[in-house]
Amino acid sequence: MKCAAIGNGLFTQTTPEVHRIVPENDHNLPIVKIVYEDLQAQYQSSLTAAVIAFNSKRKHASYVVLGYLVEELRDMVMYKTFCKDLEDANIFIGSLIFVEELALKIKAAMEKERERLDAVLVFPSMDEVMRLNKLGSFSMSQLRQSNNPFFHLIIHFYVKQQYSMWSFISSLYAH
């Protein structure tokens, strides 16, 4: 993981490379590419920790994650990089988009890629971007296919480890 205090991320003074997690795919696993936008760096650090944990197991998929703070998208170079990252992403996650100028920029970028993406999850945000939400042509039968990396994640966390609701809630407060 890289850290840099250079670039033109406006008030953050970062580059997009700082928020990238790209694991070595030495196990020939399917790659799931996730692009996300968030309001504050503290949320990015939580997501980074979760993805690093998923990638350390490397059983069913490798997760490439590319993150942006919403205010960074005001910068044209960052916005173009964001759009380029969306071109081959599988999933987009957006959160707390309440500035109209930025909501319209994200909407413009997402409308080009929405149909191709497997999932678009935006909440809570302005209506303009929340209307982009989609979970593909989801069905439980597809989820249970043995080669589906999302199915294996669910099995790992909820069946094999036999999480009860209480232990799940407790684990949320443990970190």
Per-residue pLDDT reduced to its tens digit, 30-88:
999 999 998 877 777 788 888 888 888 877 888 999 999 999 999 999 999 999 999 99
Q: CA-to-CA distance for 4 and 23, rounded, in angstroms?
A: 19
Q: What CATH number did the domain enclosing 134 receive?
A: 3.40.50.2300
Q: State whether 134 and 171 are in the same domain.
A: no
Q: Name, in order, each residue with C-beta under 8 angstroms of 104's C-beta and a sequence gap of 6 or more.
A: 128
Residues 70, 34, single domain; the answer is: yes
For 6, the token pair is 């250079």
Q: How do residues 91-116 score in pLDDT, each as one tens digit?
A: 999 988 999 999 999 999 999 999 99
Q: Name the band, by pLDDT with cuts 50, 70 and 90, for residue 5.
A: very low
Do 133 and 169 fall into the same domain? no
Residue 143 lies in domain: 139-175
Residues 129 and 158 in one domain: no
Q: Is 0.85 surpassed by the pTM of this model?
A: no
Residue 1 lies in a domain: no
Residue 76 lies in a domain: yes
**How far apart are the C-alpha atoms of 73 and 81, rounded to whole Å?**
9
Q: What is the DSSP letter of 125?
A: B
Residue 5 lies in a domain: no
